Amino acid sequence: MLLYRSTQTDACFNAAWEECLFRRDDFSEPVLFLYRNGPSILFGRNQNPWAELPVGKALLMGLKVIRRLSGGGTVYHDLGNLNYSLFVPRSAYSPLQCIELVLEALRKTGLPNLDIKDNSSIFSGSHKLSGTAFALNPKVAMVHGCILVHTNLDHLRDALKLDHKRQVQGFFVASNRVPVTSIKNLDPTIGRKQIEDNIVKQMESVFGKATKKRINHGKTAKYKKKFSERTWTFDRSADFTIQDDYSDATLLINAYGSKIQSASARDETGKTIIHQLDETDLIEYDCIKYQLNQQGDTTLSGLLKAFP
């Protein structure tokens, strides 16, 4: 088994190296990749970001927002997470085996009451501790997940908190939102290094002794560019609608990717209001909406004044 440990905490870099490993032509033996990301939100390949997170707020807070290579739901990362990716030949693909190895690694720290639920997540009682997602190509299967070690759970909840006045509809996969906890909450004496070492040992018990390898930074540029651009992260969301309820009106948006195709508004009496949001950038709209809300302006008329 080959073992890569990243010293980089840029979510785009780590996502890029993960894809390099997933796409490599010379794949001949299992690979384990361990890394941490700075504050960021990663959502699944088949998800719609506007249905998963407050996009404008996240970007203005400086969070990296990335569409993952894999499916699954939306997750928050910070330096309190430990993230792992296991790559095996497609013919040897057994996602449950990988999750069970991670589960056993956590149990060996002394953590009680751990179990696998929803087929792919590790729970402590009723609270989720680790989620998992998958990606397949003709040669390689990838199983990857994040473990909440000493993640800032207040930041996690704030970063993923949706506007209850917004409704998003379309064809996309929605996250299954459940209560989460961290290992720090369960046992503050357990550190990331102990968990990381346990995971390596458990993987070695099945895939052979780990050979440490260095990341080839030169190979990441292509994929880092991909994960850094809106084309991949935002523009892949097919036709969807957003209903935003303002204090003085309701705005109905038809969107594709990160652009508003058309929009219509009606006041409390149902009368249509003149507006100028057709062909507007949806990210810009979301950022302005968040900034105005922070200033206490929850009116559509206030938002429309912000656009030329």
Find where tokens 């100028």 sit: 276
pTM recorded for the entire structure: 0.94
Both tokens of 274, joined, read 């003149």
Rounded to whole angstroms, the Cα distance separating 120 from 11 reads: 23
Q: Supply the DSSP string of 6-39, one letter for each residue.
A: -----HHHHHHHHHHHHH-TT--S-EEEEE--SS
Ordered by start, the domain boundaries in the chain are 2-232, 240-305
pLDDT at residue 300 in the model: 92
CATH number of this structure's domain 2-232: 3.30.930.10
pLDDT at residue 119 in the model: 79
Per-residue pLDDT reduced to its tens digit, 257-277: 999 999 999 887 777 776 778
Residues with Cβ within 8 Å of residue 43, at least 6 apart in sequence: 49, 52, 53, 65, 66, 67, 68, 73, 74, 75, 175
- Please, what's the b/e burial string for 128-152 (b: 16 or more CB within 10 A of its CB; e: otherwise)? bbbbbbbbeeeebbbbbbbbbbbbb
Per-residue pLDDT reduced to its tens digit, 162-206: 999 999 999 999 998 999 999 999 999 999 999 999 999 999 999
Residues with Cβ within 8 Å of residue 305, at least 6 apart in sequence: none
CA of 191: how far to CAs of 132, 153, 161, 196, in Å?
A: 21, 17, 28, 9
pLDDT per position in the chain (308 positions), as tens?
999 999 999 999 999 999 999 998 778 899 999 999 999 999 999 999 999 999 999 999 999 999 999 999 999 999 999 999 999 998 888 889 999 999 999 999 999 899 999 878 999 999 999 999 999 999 999 999 999 999 999 999 999 999 999 999 999 999 989 999 999 999 999 999 999 999 999 999 999 999 999 999 999 999 999 999 999 999 999 999 999 999 999 999 999 999 999 999 988 777 777 677 888 999 999 999 999 999 999 999 999 888 76
pLDDT at residue 214 in the model: 96
| Residue of 147, 106, 102 lying closest to 128 (CA atoms) | 147
pLDDT at residue 279 in the model: 86
